[in-house]
Structure 1
């Protein structure tokens, strides 16, 4: 292998962040792989690679035979030129420079060396970016295809898949994009880093960057729920009573939260003050200024929230996103009511669970007639018309009117 070729490999290794010791071992392995195929097991091949002298050579034994058939053999006649006393089966030590080998051997050696350099580079990239997993990195968009955006992140390419992109967000080739490292995958010919801008963890890392009190641990992010491109709720709690967690996250005149929103393509970001009380946490998640009362179910994670008629749409949110995210954040099933709707709902549930016999005017005989026609609960009577009840055989108009009226005020 010529000094020029050694020099070019050294330059390549430097670009791939490999030192000379690593490259020397790679060259030895590559040459051994290519040359050993031409030799016998008894040849005892060794490779020398010296970057100080730019010298590479192969040392091995040639076995003395009657008629040589391979590189690892030498005919007795030729061997006598080296040593007149030599005999069949003896070994002659040989040293050959790489240029002494046939071109095919050199090509195979070069291929093996380049493949090994590439494999080591991929291992290094895997190691480097494994350390950056779950962190935010920046890179330049180099391509936009059906899979997503290809992003140059120095020593590797990264992919921001379509499913990991914020809705309606667009980047041009050359734009700098900031994203969360989800995974590192080794493909057939290279390493690919998978990015995301939709994960809640992406938002958390941005908060840690933009809000010093979170980075220092004075404020803790308890939970994040998100509808990428639409809305995010971040529950925070202060570990220092002197620090207002909500105010710190918003920043003076909202400058901190505005910076975060800009990074999220204008996405709405709600700061929710964490509370150990489920009722208070639910109110905070919906919007403390919107909620009048929270009722928790006796069993199960279910809550009913009372708001004014004016605030109902705000509490539900555009496309139901506010209440949906609040439910995810609190891990409660949430229903929004005005006071009037809530009272009607309670009355309806009472009617559903009450038997017709509980109504004024319903004797055991009337109850039997109603049961025969499928009317068993107070709600059944409430939903029926007087005409429908009057037409029941065995039930007069006066009785029908009385039990209907009774169901309305039950």
Structure 2
């Protein structure tokens, strides 16, 4: 096929038709044609030639041009695409290195093989342009809801026609009992858009918590306008969900607005989610109060929060236990996801039994170590004393408020407690020395004999060993593994050593060993202070 005036306009018509069909820019198709014609010309004139093709956007005329670059004599490698300054003087006046010589050459005829090759180049370019267009269109729609039509199902995954492309709804992103047939209309959440070798992939979801948030935003104008905010969502897809909302307008009830007149708004969301039951809960910045709301419909008697561990204990009446836990633990699991806390649920009877056990344990501790009768030991526990250290070093006035305790009795109690503690310290230090603890660690300020014994049992026997410890190895901490918080026990955790204390211990040990220069620490502290001041001014 020769590029003649008879088919020049046909090139442009073909380009425009392809562009309309694929919904891409016509110039992309024309550029692909130019590249394919240039490749065909190289196969005709020689692959080492640098040949450019330009198609006029109005007439469709294709111009073939051979391009040669002027180079130094010693740099001439490809005489088909390069020429020396001396050679260039035959075609140009006053040529210099880097100049480009362009000369038009006759058009080529496309044989069967060349035409097929040109077609492949055009198709590849068009396919790449189509993929780029799809990616650019959908990447900005991540996090929104899209309506589509089911095309087919492959190995449990649903392929959805989303207009100018396809999305995939994976098996684990479908609500359990849903089934789809071709041409069914479907509403999904665009969870992610990725570039992949086979083209942009649009990943859809109907189980994502964000899908429920977006559905409420569509049904509740106050959420769309920002008057009400969805603070947290927890879902057991297809079964039950909890959603926490807050209103920034005191005159608007966030729960009532989301429920709607006669439940019309929430019912629209429930219908879309195949009957998934939804608990709408008022948000509260106070975590215990929020948790009480999150465990509805169960009633909560008492809440004990451990912020450091991210755990919370909830006490409920005996008859409310099954309601608080829910079917297969669903209610407490959703409340845990909503509050981002580990929740332990106890009945009032279990909590009472535990308190009684703690009371008996502390009573026995005072009876055994202070040589007290049961009644007197119980008095100490009732007044809030939990260990021997509190008795030994508390202000005497706090002992004198106990009925039957005078100044002499208080002094005797403290003397006995101190004797017991000193004996325990001597025993711990002896044990530590038997394990091989060095004097450098024994004399370290802030470590008690019991701490030194615990370190020795863990293999930390010198100041050098202590300086190489991580703060969490001493104080303990929490690690998230597969989405669950896992406890890391610290060597000194039972002595109530905080993470900050552990950091101070380790850094002091490193300074004493000369591993760290205190001046460097001061400089770092000053820098941190400056940054803080700058942030405050900003």
Give the TM-score, by structure 1 length.
Answer: 0.73
Query: Is 1:337 equivalent to 2:337 in the alignment?
Result: no
Cα deviation, 1:9-48, whole Å, max 9, x if unaligned, reads 3211112223333332221122223322443478553313
Work out whether residues 40 and 110 of structure 2, in 8 Å CA contact, stay in contact via their aligned partners in 1. Answer: no
Would you identify which runs of 4 or more consecutive aligned residues in structure 1 move more than 6 Å? none
Counterpart of 1:127 in structure 2 is: 136
Work out whether residues 28 and 126 of structure 2, in 8 Å CA contact, stay in contact via their aligned partners in 1. Answer: no
Counterpart of 1:281 in structure 2 is: 290
- Cα distance in 2, alignment partners of residues 266 and 221 from structure 1: 21
Counterpart of 1:164 in structure 2 is: 173
Query: Is 1:294 equivalent to 2:303 in the alignment?
Result: yes
Unaligned runs of 5+ in 1: 63-71, 73-90, 365-410
Query: Is 1:217 equivalent to 2:201 in the alignment?
Result: no
Counterpart of 1:56 in structure 2 is: 62
Query: Is 1:36 equivalent to 2:42 in the alignment?
Result: yes
How large is the Cα RMSD of the aligned pairs? 2.9
Change (3 A) 1:357 1:189: closer
> Which deviates further from its counterpart, 108-117 or 227-236?
227-236
Counterpart of 1:322 in structure 2 is: 331
Q: Report the 3-state secondary structure (helix = DSSP H, G, I; strand = E; otherwise coil) of the residue aligned with 1:158.
A: strand
Work out whether residues 318 and 349 of structure 2, in 8 Å CA contact, stay in contact via their aligned partners in 1. Answer: no
Work out whether residues 33 and 109 of structure 1, in 8 Å CA contact, stay in contact via their aligned partners in 2. Answer: yes
Residue 299 of structure 1 and its aligned partner are, at CA, apart by 6.0
Work out whether residues 61 and 94 of structure 1, in 8 Å CA contact, stay in contact via their aligned partners in 2. Answer: no
- Cα distance in 2, alignment partners of residues 104 and 298 from structure 1: 74
1:155 to 153, 164, 167: 164
Residue 224 of structure 1 and its aligned partner are, at CA, apart by 1.4
Query: Is 1:20 equivalent to 2:29 in the alignment?
Result: no
- Cα distance in 2, alignment partners of residues 113 and 120 from structure 1: 11
Q: Report the 3-state secondary structure (helix = DSSP H, G, I; strand = E; otherwise coil) of the residue aligned with 1:311.
A: helix
Higher strand fraction (1 or 2): 1
- Cα distance in 2, alignment partners of residues 34 and 119 from structure 1: 21
Cα deviation, 1:283-341, whole Å, max 9, x if unaligned, reads 01101662233233586433332333443322211111111111222233223333233
Q: Report the 3-state secondary structure (helix = DSSP H, G, I; strand = E; otherwise coil) of the residue aligned with 2:280.
A: strand
- Cα distance in 1, alignment partners of residues 327 and 313 from structure 2: 19
- Cα distance in 2, alignment partners of residues 61 and 222 from structure 1: 64
Q: Report the 3-state secondary structure (helix = DSSP H, G, I; strand = E; otherwise coil) of the residue aligned with 2:175.
A: coil
Residue 250 of structure 1 and its aligned partner are, at CA, apart by 1.0
Q: Report the 3-state secondary structure (helix = DSSP H, G, I; strand = E; otherwise coil) of the residue aligned with 1:291.
A: coil
Higher helix fraction (1 or 2): 2
Change (3 A) 1:253 1:118: same
How many corresponding residue pairs? 333
- Cα distance in 2, alignment partners of residues 157 and 38 from structure 1: 41
Q: Report the 3-state secondary structure (helix = DSSP H, G, I; strand = E; otherwise coil) of the residue aligned with 1:269.
A: strand
- Cα distance in 2, alignment partners of residues 29 and 363 from structure 1: 99
Unaligned runs of 5+ in 2: 69-79, 81-101, 374-538
Q: What pairs with 1:232-247 in structure 2 (closer than 5 Å)?
A: 232-247=241-256
1:252 to 252, 261, 265: 261
Counterpart of 1:392 in structure 2 is: none
